[in-house]
């Protein structure tokens, strides 16, 4: 049996009450002609703008992608259904992510150029530049494919590829897929109901490298699961909901999970927990030990609301924030805060970059900051406000955590910053197997592998942060040289020719 404990330390804000302390400032009103029903949260890109999607409306009534400038100006940068039969996608429910290459990626629930079993199209995966140039990378609906990615969106894995879920599939009950930046899609797992059904909430890649997610229903008790999965699709159910009497541990998680700074995963169930099934908040270890943190209820005596749908966010103050759809005393939902006593941290945007790149560090109480370091290497920085620092990735920095020293103490990033390697040159343009090649670049001290034309080198010597020596391996063919480090992969601009 899993250990269950009750911890409900909340701060609630009823959405039906008037607020005298703070009044939200409306920047823009959607009226369908410019989009409508923006379901998902915004993402801040490296250009400083915010980007989001609307599910409907726009020039073709298929939904839009929009940009919000730092001054609040909103611009529609793409109208879906620009192609016949909405071959470019329709109805983007999920938000966007910015990849390490600077482009934005997302999914549409409907549309695409493969109808298959979907009268309105089975949905798409798309790439869009910050300027609005859109490329459809994949249209769902083939026999071994999933279809209709719902609210999940995409995440970018540490290998550079993207991962997501579809809510349904022809041969099963939803899928997990991997797709490259060029659009090669592979279904890596198809749910069969015994291991869960309808993964609506997407994935999170934890620090251990595994992917974690939830299914709305299915599993041993038919009301949802938490699963753990490898990058190649090997899936294990680590928790089945309704494992406690009366489903006191919750059921039907609609949203995905978040990994917090204590390395545990946190989430919400839409139903279960109490007699009137108001839902729960829970913590689960990567090994599957679940703790119920709070049970919502829908009665008038319950101040906290119920039926959380959107999952949790851990903010830089260490607390968790979320929303409920219902409010027991007659309101129309709540915004809540859950305190688990976790320490404040800093958030990095983006979480990777080359030496010389300017990184946004978000947090709190930055006034008087005395130092910023990338895995122990000091960086130049500017305190822009009490919650925002800009810092330049310093020469010699290696992949690791970012630390910010403030008058109140040292704050650490919630994830490692990946320093991208660079190849600038190599000393000889050609040579036979056995040739020693000296490769010059930047951020090479964490090199783990050198590849010649797709074949790994047999001998690698890391001479310094700017130089690596490798021996051309047996079987190597003419092609570019790749260097793999803890921060990513660098590919040479020039080709190395393997001679007889």
**pLDDT value at 20 more than 60:** no
10-338 homologous superfamily: YVTN repeat-like/Quinoprotein amine dehydrogenase (2.130.10.10)
- pLDDT value, residue 172: 87
Which tops the pLDDT comparison, 486 or 21? 486
Tens of pLDDT, residues 176-216 = 999 998 999 999 999 999 999 999 988 999 989 899 999 99
Q: Mean pLDDT over residues 48-68, rounded? A: 93
Q: Mean pLDDT over residues 291-298, rounded? A: 89
Classify 249 as helix, strand or coil.
coil
Which tops the pLDDT comparison, 480 or 16? 480
- pLDDT value, residue 311: 84
Which tops the pLDDT comparison, 158 or 204? 204
Q: Are 177 and 186 in contact (CB under 8 A)?
A: yes
We find that the CATH architecture of domain 421-498 is Sandwich (2.60)
Task: Compute the mean pLDDT over every residue in the chain, rounded to the nearest whole number.
Answer: 89
Which CATH number among 3.40.50.300, 3.90.1150.10, 3.10.150.10, 2.60.40.10 corresponds to the domain 347-418? 2.60.40.10
Q: What is the spatial distance between Cα 371 and Cα 393, in angstroms, rounded to a whole number?
A: 13
Strand partners, 471: 436
**pLDDT value at 13 more than 70:** no
R_g over Cα of the chain: 24
Peptide bond into 350 cis (omega under 30): yes
* Least reliable range by pLDDT among 17-21, 63-67, 169-173, 479-483: 17-21
- pLDDT value, residue 6: 32
Tens of pLDDT, residues 169-184 = 888 899 999 999 899 9
**pLDDT value at 10 more than 50:** no
- pLDDT value, residue 283: 97
Q: Give the contacts of 29 (CB within 8 A, at least 6 positions apart).
A: none
Classify 85 as helix, strand or coil.
helix
- pLDDT value, residue 21: 38
Confidence at 25, pLDDT banded by 50, 70, 90: low
Edge-to-edge strand order for the sheet containing 334-338? Answer: 10-14, 334-338, 320-324, 313-314
Write down the pTM of the prediction.
0.82
421-498 and 10-338 share a CATH fold: no
Write the DSSP symbol of residue 478.
S
Q: Domain ranges for the chain, please list them.
A: 10-338, 347-418, 421-498
CB neighbourhood size of 18 (10 A): 6
Confidence at 464, pLDDT banded by 50, 70, 90: very high
Q: What is the spatial distance between Cα 241 and Cα 259, in angstroms, rounded to a whole number?
A: 19
Tens of pLDDT, residues 242-289 = 999 999 999 999 999 999 999 999 999 999 998 889 999 999 999 999
CB neighbourhood size of 329 (10 A): 12
Among candidates 236, 300, 243, 301, which has minimal Cα distance to 272? 243
């Amino acid at each position: 049996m899993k250990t269950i404990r009750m911890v409900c330390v909340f701060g609630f804000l009823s959405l039906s009450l008037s607020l005298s302390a703070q009044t939200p400032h409306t920047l823009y009103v959607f009226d369908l002609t410019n989009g409508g029903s923006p379901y998902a949260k915004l993402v801040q890109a490296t250009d400083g703008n915010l980007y989001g999607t609307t599910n409907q409306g726009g020039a073709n009534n298929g939904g839009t992608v929009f940009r919000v400038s730092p001054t609040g100006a909103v611009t529609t940068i793409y109208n879906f259904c620009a192609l016949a039969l909405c071959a470019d996608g329709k109805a983007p429910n999920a938000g966007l992510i910015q990849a390490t290459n600077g482009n934005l990626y997302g999914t549409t629930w409907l549309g695409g150029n493969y109808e298959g079993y979907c009268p309105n199209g089975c949905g798409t995966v798309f790439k869009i530049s910050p300027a609005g140039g859109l490329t459809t990378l994949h249209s769902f609906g083939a026999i071994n494919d999933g279809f209709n990615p719902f609210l999940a969106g995409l995440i970018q894995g540490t290998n550079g590829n993207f991962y997501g879920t579809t809510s349904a599939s022809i041969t099963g009950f939803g899928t997990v897929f991997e797709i490259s930046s060029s659009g090669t899609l592979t279904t890596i797992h198809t749910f069969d109901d015994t291991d869960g059904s309808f993964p609506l909430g997407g994935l999170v890649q934890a620090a251990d490298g595994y992917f974690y997610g939830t299914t709305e229903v299915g599993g041993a008790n038919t009301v949802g699961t938490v699963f753990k999965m490898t990058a190649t699709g090997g899936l294990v159910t680590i928790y089945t909901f309704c494992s406690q009497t009366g489903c006191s541990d919750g059921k039907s998680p609609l949203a995905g999970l978040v990994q917090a700074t204590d390395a545990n995963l946190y989430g919400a169930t839409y139903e279960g927990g109490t007699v009137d099934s108001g839902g729960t908040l829970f913590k689960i270890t990567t090994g599957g030990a679940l703790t119920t943190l709070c049970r919502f209820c829908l009665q008038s005596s319950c101040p906290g609301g119920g039926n959380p749908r959107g999952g949790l966010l851990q903010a830089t103050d260490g607390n968790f924030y979320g929303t409920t759809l219902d409010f027991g005393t007659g309101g129309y939902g709540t915004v809540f805060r859950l305190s688990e006593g976790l320490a404040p941290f800093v958030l990095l945007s983006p979480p990777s970059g080359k030496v010389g790149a300017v990184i946004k560090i978000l947090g709190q109480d930055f006034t008087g900051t005395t130092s910023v370091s990338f895995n122990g290497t000091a960086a130049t920085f500017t305190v822009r406000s009490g919650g925002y620092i800009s810092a330049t990735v310093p020469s010699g920095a290696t992949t690791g955590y970012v630390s910010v020293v403030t008058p109140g103490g040292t704050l650490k990033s919630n994830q490692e910053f990946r320093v991208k390697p660079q190849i600038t040159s190599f000393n000889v343009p050609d040579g036979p197997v056995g040739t020693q090649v000296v490769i010059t670049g930047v951020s090479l001290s964490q090199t783990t592998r050198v590849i010649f034309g797709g074949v790994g080198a047999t001998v690698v010597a890391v001479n310094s942060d700017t130089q690596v020596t490798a021996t051309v391996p047996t079987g190597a063919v003419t092609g570019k040289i790749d260097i793999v480090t803890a921060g990513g992969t660098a590919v040479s601009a020039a080709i190395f020719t393997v001679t007889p």
